[in-house]
Amino acid sequence: MKETRMSRRMVAAGLPLIVLGTPAILRAQTRGLLQVTVEGASANPVPIAVTDFVGDPVGVQISQVISADLERSGLFRPIDRGAFIERITDPGKAPRFQDWRAINADALVVGSATQQADGRLRVEFRLWDVAAGSQMTGRAFFTQSANWRRIAHIVADEIFKRITGEDGFFDTRVVYVAETGPGNARVKRLAIMDQDGANHRYLTDGRALALTPRFSPTLQEVVYMSYAQGVPRVFLMNVDTARQELLGNFPNMTFAPRFSPDGNRVVMSLATDGNSEIYAMDVRSRSISRLTNHPAIDTSPSYSPDGGRIVFTSDRGGSQQIYVMGAGGGDGQRISFGQGRYSTPVWSPRGDYIAFTKQEGGSFSIGIMRPDGSGERILASSYLDEGPTWAPNGRYLMFFRQAPNAGGRAGAVRLYMVDTTGRVLRPVPTPTDASDPAWSPLIPQ
Amino acid sequence: MRLNIRILGAVAALLLAAACSSTPGPEGATASVAPGTPGHFQQVAGDRVYFETDQSDLRPDARATLDKQAAWLKQYGDRYQQYVIEGHADERGTREYNLALGERRANSVRTYLVTQGIATGKLRTISYGKERPEVVGSDEGAWSRNRRAVTVLQ
């Protein structure tokens, strides 16, 4: 069982992996006692001790990245290292559980990082259930030294999954719009970074406005809108090579692009004589089909995870509301019936929720509702909260928040992360003002 | 349904505007800029019109401005290759919806200018959504000036 899993992952990953067994003396006790739900943990985070990985100095950095990831999820409360009683010197041996119970740790992470003779780095970790005195999981990875941050994120994802039962979201990237300059002449560039803000780089030079990037499910590509050719149009970019190309040559504005779940199609709005309609384009053949036909504004389309339906914004009823139609087009059914105006619907990768931006009174909110429109829940609210994007596990969202302008100066614009309970709300660090985040799927290993 | 009503409203507005279009404009009072220049266009006709929240139909003051734009363009327009109508929205809307709204506003102006006899081939529209506000502010005074369509001579 373990070997099958190991070899399959080794092939897919390029990150050779070994599953570490429980030391024999403890095997009899191994039971997964430490299990929390995401909703439960967001109210009551799990105290976890993440010790410095022994061996190569990069081990200390790895444990810091793991600790920061777990903390950022809001579901874990890393315990201050200064409180630790036992000093881990051999992560292959069982820890002194009473020392970790004494500081109220529910979970313990130990590990090592070792430079191999062939130049690779070997990183090993074990997750211990302190109360049960048993190992919950343990693995070893071989990788290029430069990959140490990714290994840390992969370890954090393993810990997250083992304890919450949900997939993690730490080994992901975010493409967003970096904003600089005065409010009436903003410079907007596409930028990409790891989910925690590391490995930041720009993808466009800022000469033309670049807006609304969306990640491909195949990860190396984004679609976005740019004024590079004068007329605002949708472009496709490979984020690794920064090569970009126009997606279809239409006389008028194309905007609001989003990939289908299989990555084969891009759905977007196309404006003709002032009227915006939704079209789907086959990325390879570039053939297009029209999905809406209405004199109202139809925009911000987003596929359901099975590709069978599309949720979109329309003001056909007199104000902006959310509608769902089949992926082949049609009239659509309105699903938003609360007070206010609804837009930018985004279907969760799990299929259970649709996230949206809602305007009501003087504020803008980020919320979620079920695909039939029931169970609306507001997660964050301010002068201007806009543009939700889902983490691949469907349990977290990123969006941007703009403060009011004041004294002729543009209000600060920042990225935030929030969970589906609304209890975990965190700023996401960026070097400049930032908007329009697009969360990647988990990076293939 | 609602859009049909809007279209009918616009037709009525056009008839009304046509009836008033012979009224002479208040030009020539302090003509310090050279006739036929973009500055002259701004001074004599006014290069922009404003909209109500979430609306793209033309207010009476907008139609009056566009009548003057049309008259000016008929006199001096052959000096320019095209007239670009930039549609804008205030920041109280989402980026994508505002791009659509800006396009709809620009198209309202374009359609009106065509009915006033401006050649379709010289008119081009572009939407900036909420990306290029006239006034950087977060109150109704700023928003009302940002909901606009600007005619740019090229």
Chain segment A291-313, per-residue pLDDT in tens: 999 999 999 999 999 999 999 99
Q: How far is A294 from chain B (nearest CA, A)?
A: 10
Q: Do B100 and A320 touch (CB under 8 A)?
A: no
What integer pLDDT is reported at residue B128 of this predicted model?
98
Instruction: Give the per-residue pLDDT at A345.
Output: 98
Q: How high is the pLDDT of residue A258? A: 97
Query: B60-76 and B2-20 helices cross at what angle (nearest 10)?
Result: 60
Q: State the pLDDT at residue A219.
A: 73
Q: Is B53 on the interface with A (CB under 8 A)?
A: no
Question: A84-88, A108-112, A217-221: lowest mean pLDDT where?
Answer: A217-221
Taking the Cβ of residue B121 and every Cβ of chain A, the question of whether any pair is shorter than 8 Å is answered with: no
Strands (E), chain B: 48-50, 83-88, 123-129, 148-153
| Mean pLDDT for the stretch of residues A24-41 | 59
Q: Is the pLDDT of residue A10 over 70?
A: no
The SS3 call for residue B9 is helix
Rounded to two decimals, the pTM is 0.89
Q: Which SS3 state, helix, strand or coil, does residue B139 take?
A: coil
Distances (CA, A) of B147 to A126, A409, B49: 58, 19, 8
**Domain A173-439: which topology?**
Neuraminidase (2.120.10)
Mean pLDDT of B82-90: 98
Give the pLDDT score at A19: 67
Beta bridge partners of B148: B50
Whether residue A414 has pLDDT greater than 90:
yes
Q: Angle between the A58-72 and A148-164 helix axes, to the nearest 10 degrees?
A: 40
Contacts of B125 in chain A (CB under 8 A): 252, 274
The pLDDT assigned to B32 comes to 78
User: What residues does A128 pair with on adjacent strands?
Assistant: A108, A135
Candidate from A25-29, A128-132, A396-400, B140-144 with smallest mean pLDDT? A25-29
Domain boundaries in chain A?
A: 4-164, 173-439
| Segments of A100-243 assigned E as strands | 107-115, 121-129, 134-143, 173-180, 187-194, 201-202, 210-215, 221-226, 233-238
Q: How far is CA A170 from CA A198, A367, A392, A435, A440, in A?
A: 12, 22, 10, 20, 10
- pLDDT attached to residue B16: 41
Angle at which helices B60-76 and B95-115 pack, to 10 degrees? 60
**Residue A8, pLDDT above cutoff 50:** no
- Report d(CA A404, CA A383) in Å as an integer: 7
Residue A208 pLDDT? 96
Q: Do A183 and B54 count as a contact with CB atoms less than 8 A apart?
A: no
- Asked if A47 and A396 count as a contact pair (C-beta separation under 8 A), the reply is no
The class that CATH gives domain A4-164 is: alpha beta
With a cut of 80, say whether residue A20 has pLDDT above it.
no
Amino acid sitting at position A394 = G
* B26 in contact with chain A, both atoms CB, cutoff 8 A: no
Interchain contact B100–A (C-beta under 8 A):
yes
Query: Which one is predicted more confidently, A4 or A89?
Result: A89
Residue of chain A whose Cα is closest to the Cα of B99: A255
pLDDT of residue A42: 75
Chain B residues touching residue A256 (CB < 8 angstroms): 96, 99-100
Label residue A9 by pLDDT band (50, 70, 90): very low
Which DSSP symbol is given to B56? -
Q: What are phi and psi of B15, to 5 degrees?
A: -60, -45
Sequence ranges of the domains in chain B: 32-153
Tell me which chain A residues have a C-beta less than 8 angstroms from the C-beta of B100. Answer: 255-256, 269, 271, 276, 297, 299
pLDDT at position A44 is: 87
**How many other C-beta atoms can be found within 10 angstroms of the C-beta atom of residue A318?**
11
Closest Cβ–Cβ partner in B2, B104, B107 for A318: B2
Alpha helices in A92-231 (DSSP H): 97-101, 148-164
Judge whether residue B19 has pLDDT over 60. Answer: no
User: Phi then psi for A26, rounded to 5 degrees?
Assistant: -100, -10
The mean pLDDT of chain A is 91
Output the pLDDT for position A66: 98
With an 8 Å Cβ cutoff, is B54 touching chain A?
yes
pLDDT, tens digit, for every residue of B97-150?
A: 999 999 999 999 999 999 999 999 999 999 999 999 999 999 999 999 999 999
Whether B42 has a pLDDT exceeding 90, the answer reads: yes
CB atoms within 10 A of CB B63: 22
The alpha carbons of chain A give a radius of gyration, in whole angstroms, of: 23
- Residue partners of A9: CB distance under 8 A and separation at least 6: A17, A445
Position A137 confidence tier, pLDDT thresholds 50, 70, 90: very high
A 234-293 → B contacts, CB under 8 A: 252-253, 255-256, 269, 271, 273-276
Range A31-45 average pLDDT: 73
Mean pLDDT of all residues in B58-77: 98
User: CB-based contact (8 Å) between A313 and chain B?
Assistant: yes
Distance from CA of A187 to the nearest CA of B (A): 10
Mind listing the pLDDT tens digit for each residue in A266-276?
999 999 999 99
From the list A388, A296, A352, the residue with the least C-alpha distance to B2 is A296
CB contact under 8 Å between B97 and A188, yes or no, is no
Percent over 70 (pLDDT), chain A: 93
Above 50 in pLDDT, residue B9? no
Burial zone of A18 (CB within 10 Å; 0-12 exposed, 13-18 middle, 19+ buried): middle
Report residue A17's pLDDT band, with 50, 70 and 90 as the boundaries.
low
- Cα–Cα distance between B137 and B114 in angstroms, integer? 33
Residues of A in contact with B111 (CB under 8 A): 274
What does the pLDDT average to over B6-12? 43
The CATH classification of domain B32-153, taken from the options 3.30.70.3270, 3.40.309.10, 3.30.1330.60, 3.40.50.970: 3.30.1330.60
**In chain A, positions 338-397, which contact chain B (CB-CB < 8 Å)?**
343-344, 357, 359, 383-384, 386-387
- For the record, the structure tokens of B2 come out as 């609602």
- Averaged pLDDT, B79-94: 97
Q: Could A387 and B142 be called an inter-chain contact, meaning their C-beta atoms sit closer than 8 Å?
A: no
A411: contact with B, CB 8 A cutoff: yes
- A256/B142 touch (CB, cutoff 8 Å), yes or no: no
pLDDT, chain B, mean: 86
The reply to whether A209 touches chain B by the CB within 8 Å rule is: yes
Query: Between A29 and A338, where is the model more confident?
Result: A338
Q: Which of B53, B58, B86, B103 to mutate to test the interface with A (most CBs of A within 10 A)?
A: B103
Higher pLDDT, B54 or A15: B54
Instruction: State the residue for tokens 């979620």.
Output: A368
> Which are the contacts of B8, defined by CB distance < 8 A and separation ≥ 6?
none
Q: If you search the block for the tokens 């049309």, which residue do you land on?
A: B70
Is pLDDT above 90 for A16? Answer: no
ipTM reported for the complex, 2 dp: 0.91
Under the banding of pLDDT at 50, 70 and 90, the label for residue A403 is very high
Spatial separation of the C-alpha atoms in residues B52 and B147, rounded to whole Å: 7
pLDDT reported for residue A39:
75
Q: Tens digits of per-residue pLDDT, A149-181?
A: 999 999 999 999 999 999 999 999 999 999 999
Cβ-Cβ pairs closer than 8 A, A with B, add up to: 109
Lowest mean pLDDT among A29-38, A111-120, A267-276: A29-38
